[in-house]
């Protein structure tokens, strides 16, 4: 057979297998066999100068590819060693000092983006190739896919060297990811598990037409190979170079010596929940390139950088049981008992499923594999049931008709199940009691889960006021296993000390539905005495500017039904009237806090504001008076600017608070 005949045959063969693979979804040969055919065809065409636009080798790009071409990075794409806390970071800094011979090394701190590493080479300032990380040495050429990200410039206008590999991370923004999954689901496809997964799946998608419709994004942060004429001497100069050349750079990059790094990392961590992309840590890098060179790399990780990892906040686990718990207001809430997982530093074994609508929405079954997520301090949630791994062992959830605590018939109220047996239901009494004695309510020390259970199960506490009549059970309490005489004496002392509560703490302790700490303080400030609050009508309550109709109705109903025995409480307690603190200069100002601070934790700030008569609020509205602005403020700043809210920076904070 002549070479030209072989070319003809090969073209037909490649066409045939293209069709079998892409159109019929029924390949007959392996990828390797296909590659061998394709490469032989390319070779023969080149050898013979037989180039034909109808040949399958000329059509790449317009049609889906079969596989990506491989490419070796000029410099390997390394991974990073991890540190998890300050101590480990300081050890890293010690090693850096030892190797460079300099102390007080300057570092950069950047978010660690949870996406897909990419290396883009520019030759004489023109984009040449985009390559995935692959095994670190060799990746796949995904130039066409990367070029769908319009932000990436195809030419560098500012001082481009002859050759430069630029490293970055490709990812999806969270709302784009959600939209993408919705579109995929609507067309009957399988949704991606995470934004990272979606980015990887999209980057390695062989059909550029599909990739084009998916809004990938990118941040650049590093250099690979470079020609000698490249002039940046440090990460900070390099970041500037990227910015001047319109290569997208993250806006949370900070610089400083070792002692400032823990705070800088904390600022990144604190901003995490406000970001619209996922990060899983911060990367700390030696700023100076000459020092980076000196430090070099061991095995696959550099000695000049570490990943300061944040606790993982999302894991798959198994549902062992779905049970129902009765809260202090009688709402019966489904929750999943899961195979315990460590998330964001906490061991999670129970996850609330909120209400019956959520149970239906998730369509969760016992034995299901579920994704549990815990973002920052937020309570854990089940975000997804992995139905693909069901194996037939799953069991339906039994929704109860009767209260699991007292057996009362349950009512349905919208998406909620409710037991309306009040304090006669042990679970509700227990829930109320725990809240009543807690730190921000009556603040009684020495009452924990165990003794509370005893007090209720033994019938010593049937309503709130019984707590103040416990003396008559002194002997019984002192003989309880696990509670020494001393601890019971201390408990009596603590109960005694709580008998003159402040008005706001007392209101908070009553557990009126939807009246928490903040509303309790507002009520105290407004009504000044408990008697006035008790007699308040719906209209009186609606005079307040921070109370809505539902809460006002809850308050009126509560005092009418008196489920916790307020009258009896008033007989044993001496509830103080509201007193304005001497230095309450923030009187009634609504103040929102955002970002992180060098000198204060957010909780400390909230406490100070309250002590000074201010009202710390969670979100910005037209009623907000001030926004206290820390580092890495997130979306609240923008909103505050829209509403024209006054800003207080950390510099001016002490003056503002008068401390």
Q: Is 79 in the site for ligand IVH (CB under 6 A)?
A: yes
Could you tell me whether strands 590-594 and 615-617 are parallel, antiparallel, or unpaired per DSSP bridges?
parallel
Hey, is 535 helix, strand or coil?
A: helix
Could you tell me whether strands 590-594 and 626-629 are parallel, antiparallel, or unpaired per DSSP bridges?
parallel
56 close to 14: Cβ distance less than 8 angstroms: yes
Residues 80-119 that bind ligand IVH (CB under 6 A): 80, 110, 112-113, 117
Q: Is 169 in the site for ligand IVH (CB under 6 A)?
A: yes
Q: Which is nearer to ligand IVH, 167 or 328 (CB)?
A: 167
Cα separation, 404 vs 564, in Å, equals 21
Cα separation, 179 vs 577, in Å, equals 53
Min dist CB 146 to ligand IVH, Å, is 14
Q: Indicate which single residue of 216, 305, 620, 637 sits in contact with ligand IVH (rule: CB under 6 A).
A: 305
588 close to 613: Cβ distance less than 8 angstroms: yes
Q: Indicate which single residue of 166, 203, 258, 283 sits in contact with ligand IVH (rule: CB under 6 A).
A: 283
Cα separation, 263 vs 126, in Å, equals 39
| Part in contact with ligand IVH (CB under 6 A); list of ranges 16-24, 97-105, 120-128, 302-310 | 302-310
Closest by CA position to 367, among listed 317, 315, 319: 319
Q: Which is nearer to ligand IVH, 17 or 167 (CB)?
A: 167
Residues in the chain: 659
Min dist CB 121 to ligand IVH, Å, is 16
Q: Is 302 in the site for ligand IVH (CB under 6 A)?
A: yes
- Per-residue contact string for residues 237-276; x = within reach of ligand IVH by CB under 6 A: ----------------------------------------
Cα separation, 513 vs 331, in Å, equals 11
Other C-beta atoms lying within 10 Å of the C-beta of residue 245 = 20
Cα separation, 370 vs 362, in Å, equals 10
Q: Indicate which single residue of 83, 284, 307, 372 sits in contact with ligand IVH (rule: CB under 6 A).
A: 307
Q: Which residues on neighbouring strands pair with residue 123, listed in sequence order?
A: 126, 163
Min dist CB 338 to ligand IVH, Å, is 29
Q: Which is nearer to ligand IVH, 153 or 302 (CB)?
A: 302
What DSSP designation does 576 have?
P
Q: Indicate which single residue of 78, 180, 218, 261 sits in contact with ligand IVH (rule: CB under 6 A).
A: 78
Closest by CA position to 171, among listed 206, 202, 140, 141: 202
Closest by CA position to 151, among listed 248, 222, 241: 248
Other C-beta atoms lying within 10 Å of the C-beta of residue 80 = 18
| Buried b or exposed e, range 309-318, using 16+ CB within 10 angstroms | bbeebbbebe
- Per-residue contact string for residues 199-238; x = within reach of ligand IVH by CB under 6 A: ----------------------xx----------------
307 close to 83: Cβ distance less than 8 angstroms: yes
Other C-beta atoms lying within 10 Å of the C-beta of residue 194 = 16
306 close to 92: Cβ distance less than 8 angstroms: yes
Is the torsion defined by CA of 460, 462, 464, 469 positive or negative?
negative
Q: Is 140 in the site for ligand IVH (CB under 6 A)?
A: no
Closest by CA position to 512, among listed 441, 608, 456, 579: 441
Site size for ligand IVH (CB under 6 A): 16
Cα separation, 421 vs 41, in Å, equals 81
Distances (CA, A) of 587 to 191, 346, 395, 615, 652: 51, 38, 56, 8, 19
What DSSP designation does 284 have?
E
Distances (CA, A) of 230 to 158, 224, 458, 569: 12, 12, 80, 78
Q: Is 165 in the site for ligand IVH (CB under 6 A)?
A: no
Q: Which residue number is nearest to ligand IVH in terms of Cβ?
A: 117
Phi-psi region of 163 (alpha: psi -120 to 50; beta: other; left: phi over 0): beta
Active-site residue set: 112
Q: Is 510 in the site for ligand IVH (CB under 6 A)?
A: no
Min dist CB 157 to ligand IVH, Å, is 24
Min dist CB 107 to ligand IVH, Å, is 12
Q: Which residues on neighbouring strands pair with residue 590, listed in sequence order?
A: 615
What phi and psi values does residue 396 have, to the nearest 5 degrees? -70, 155
Q: Which is nearer to ligand IVH, 275 or 397 (CB)?
A: 275
Min dist CB 108 to ligand IVH, Å, is 9
Min dist CB 251 to ligand IVH, Å, is 13
Cα separation, 16 vs 14, in Å, equals 5
What residues make contact with ligand IVH under the rule CB under 6 A?
A: 77-80, 110, 112-113, 117, 133, 169, 221-222, 283, 302, 305, 307
């Amino acid at each position: 057979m002549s070479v030209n005949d072989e070319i003809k045959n090969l073209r037909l063969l490649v066409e045939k297998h293209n069709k079998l693979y892409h159109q019929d979804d029924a390949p007959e040969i392996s990828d390797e066999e296909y590659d061998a055919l394709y490469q032989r065809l390319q070779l023969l065409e080149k050898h013979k100068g037989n180039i034909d636009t109808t040949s399958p080798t000329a059509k790449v790009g317009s049609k889906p590819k079969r596989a990506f071409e491989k490419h070796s990075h000029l410099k390997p794409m390394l991974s990073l060693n991890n540190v998890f806390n300050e101590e480990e970071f300081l050890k890293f800094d010690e090693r850096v000092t030892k190797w460079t011979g300099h102390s007080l090394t300057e570092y950069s701190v950047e978010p660690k983006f949870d996406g897909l590493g990419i290396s883009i080479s520019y030759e004489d300032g023109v984009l040449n190739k985009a390559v995935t990380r692959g095994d670190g040495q060799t990746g796949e050429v995904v130039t066409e896919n990367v070029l769908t990200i319009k932000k990436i410039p195809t030419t560098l206008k500012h001082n481009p060297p002859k050759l430069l590999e630029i490293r970055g991370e490709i990812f999806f923004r969270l709302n784009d990811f959600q939209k993408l999954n919705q579109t995929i689901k609507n067309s009957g496809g399988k949704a991606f598990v995470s934004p990272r997964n979606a980015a990887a799946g999209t980057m390695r998608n062989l059909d550029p037409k599909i990739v084009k419709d998916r809004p990938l994004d990118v941040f650049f942060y590093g250099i690979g190979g470079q020609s000698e004429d490249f002039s940046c001497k440090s990460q900070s100069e390099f970041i500037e170079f990227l910015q001047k050349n319109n290569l997208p750079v993250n806006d949370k990059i900070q610089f400083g010596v070792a002692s400032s790094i823990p705070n800088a990392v904390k600022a990144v961590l604190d901003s995490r929940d406000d970001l619209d992309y996922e990060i899983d840590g911060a990367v700390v890098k030696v700023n100076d390139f000459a020092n980076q060179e000196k430090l070099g790399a061991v095995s696959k990780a550099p000695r000049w950088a570490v990943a300061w990892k944040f606790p993982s906040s999302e894991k798959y686990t198994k549902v062992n049981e779905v049970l129902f718990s009765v809260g202090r207001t009688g709402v019966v809430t489904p929750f999943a008992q899961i195979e315990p997982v460590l998330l964001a530093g906490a061991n999670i074994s129970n996850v609330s499923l909120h209400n019956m609508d959520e149970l239906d929405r998730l369509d969760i079954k016992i034995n299901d594999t579920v994704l549990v997520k815990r973002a920052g301090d937020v309570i854990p949630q089940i975000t997804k049931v992995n139905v693909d791994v069901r194996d037939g062992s799953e069991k339906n959830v039994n929704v109860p008709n009767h209260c699991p605590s007292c057996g009362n018939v349950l009512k349905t109220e919208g998406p909620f199940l409710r037991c309306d047996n009040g304090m006669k239901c042990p679970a509700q009494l227990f829930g109320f009691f725990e809240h009543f004695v807690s730190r921000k309510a009556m603040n009684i020390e020495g009452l924990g889960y165990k003794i509370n259970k005893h007090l209720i199960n033994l019938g010593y506490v049937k309503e709130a006021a019984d707590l103040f009549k416990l003396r008559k059970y002194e002997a019984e309490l002192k003989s309880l296993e696990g509670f020494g005489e001393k601890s019971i004496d201390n408990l009596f002392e603590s109960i005694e000390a709580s008998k003159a509560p402040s008005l706001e703490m007392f209101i908070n302790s009553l557990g009126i539905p939807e009246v928490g700490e903040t509303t309790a303080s507002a009520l105290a400030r407004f009504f000044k005495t408990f008697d006035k609050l008790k007699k308040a009508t719906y209209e009186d309550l609606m005079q307040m500017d921070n109370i809505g109709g539902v809460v006002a109705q809850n308050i009126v109903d509560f005092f009418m039904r008196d489920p916790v025995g307020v009258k009896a409480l008033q007989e044993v307690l001496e509830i103080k009237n509201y007193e304005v603190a001497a230095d309450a200069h923030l009187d009634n100002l609504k103040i929102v806090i955002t970002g992180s601070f060098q000198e204060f934790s957010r909780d400390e700030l909230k406490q100070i504001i309250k002590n000074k008569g201010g009202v710390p609020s969670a979100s910005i509205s037209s009623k907000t008076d001030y926004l206290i602005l820390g580092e890495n403020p997130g979306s609240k700043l923008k909103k505050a600017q829209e509403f024209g809210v006054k800003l207080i920076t950390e510099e001016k904070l002490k003056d503002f608070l008068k401390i």
